[in-house]
Amino acid sequence: MSNSQTTHDVHIIGGGLAGSEAAWQLARRGVKVRLSEMRGSGEMTPAHQTDGLAELVCSNSFRSDDDTKNAVGLLHHEMRELDSIVMRAGETARVPAGSAMAVDRDVFSAAVERALSERPNITIVRERVDALPEAGLTIVATGPLTAQSLAQSIVGATGEERLAFFDAIAPIVHRDSIDMSKCWIQSRWNKRTEASNEDGDYINCPMTKDQYLEFHQGLIDAEKTDFKEWEKDTPYFDGCMPIEVMAARGVETLRYGPMKGVGLDNPYDTTEEHPQGRWPYAVVQLRQDNKLGTLWNMVGFQTKMKYGAQVELFRTIPGLENAEFARLGGLHRNTFLNSPQVLDRQLRLKAAPHIRFAGQVTGCEGYVESAAIGLVAGMMTANELAGRDWTPLPATTALGALLSHITGDAEASTFQPMNVNFGLFPPLHEVKKKQRKEAYTSRAKSDLKDWLATTGEAVPA
């Protein structure tokens, strides 16, 4: 499996999608890599079935391959332009899936492992790494089920404890899909932060008593996702209780929790006594989730409901009837950094800049996104070794938008794993809504082409 090389320039911990992609990008630039993978050393995670590199644990789909109207399809395109090993192996292992890209898991993993094994400057070592190295360029790509010993070392270095708890994710809505003729912007009791707009920090969606009672019953009745075996005994944060669990505690619980209407004046419900508007019976609040203001998260709406049930129920909320979701709610065991706080713009740990993080542990969600961050981490590290300044990827590209989000543009206080989506891109307000997806992808391809021409990053294999 591994060759006889004993020296290395970069140590990569984790042989999943991100670690494999980082190793490939470094090796094809002449860098010597030690790739440490725990599986195959007698160790195994609760989720994996094999010791193969880049094993696909859940779905066999890389989602849409449409690079003209879909953000993840655009990410596929950009990764191909940078000679991604994940995209290469994906083509080798591809199976019919319409406009999506799906693969044979075993063929895919074998193709990645074979390609890395054939590189003379990659040493693959089956070993468990228990602590962050104190020196030497390192990329940590251990994924959402990082081994406990290494996880504790990461906690010691970052101070951000997000380990072995249920990761409660609230849905995120595209701002331009919210019907503001039914909602209004206001902070409770008109208290605002310095960064807020002139009206307040929250979009408020009001409910009458009947609407609330119907919504409450919908939460109780909705189909939920089962916990996986290794999740069952893992506690969730008290402050991140699933909304359906709160609903089950009593019909009034939500009205005294995340859906309380006190201190909010509904301008669409005024009287002589309340000329500024009356307090709604209940309210759903959304808070800005990125610096661009294109994404807003539903406050307190972390959930274990199945995705279809979420869309159906949440579109009954006044103002969200036509909501488009950048991310739906979830609840699962996860290990990830609060990257906007602890990583710099080049994925380096601020407290120990010889260490980069890549993949899902940085707070990106999805196979392709994980591999993409590994790809960029590899490129950045190669530049650092060569003594070259890193030229940031344009934020108008899928790679650049995703990277910008996890390294500073997301709100650190509400940071949660995110798939790539057009809500992360600098907006094109001057383009008609129906034409924006094509405009986003066209702009991205042009800007990536210019970036490659300027930086020379498209080196031959």
Does the annotation flag 15 for ligand binding?
Answer: yes
Long-range contacts of 208-215 (CB under 8 A, 24+ apart): 208/280, 208/281, 209/281, 209/282, 211/281, 211/282, 211/316, 211/318, 212/255, 212/259, 212/281, 212/282, 213/251, 214/316, 215/282, 215/313, 215/316, 215/317
Residue 18 marked as a ligand binder: yes
List, edge to edge, every strand of the sheet that includes 282-288. Answer: 184-185, 202-207, 282-288, 295-298, 172-174, 325-327
In 3D, which of 352, 349, 347 has the Cα closest to residue 135? 352
100 is in an annotated binding site: no
159 is in an annotated binding site: no
- Cβ-count burial 416-449 (b if 16+ within 10 Å, e if not): bbbbbbbbbbeebeeeeeeebbeebbebbbebbe
Write 79-83 long-range contacts (CB < 8 A, 24+): 79/368, 79/371, 79/372, 79/375, 79/399, 81/448, 81/452, 81/458, 82/25, 82/375, 82/379, 82/457, 82/458, 83/28, 83/458, 83/461
Residues in binding site for FAD: 14-19
Residues in binding site: 14-19
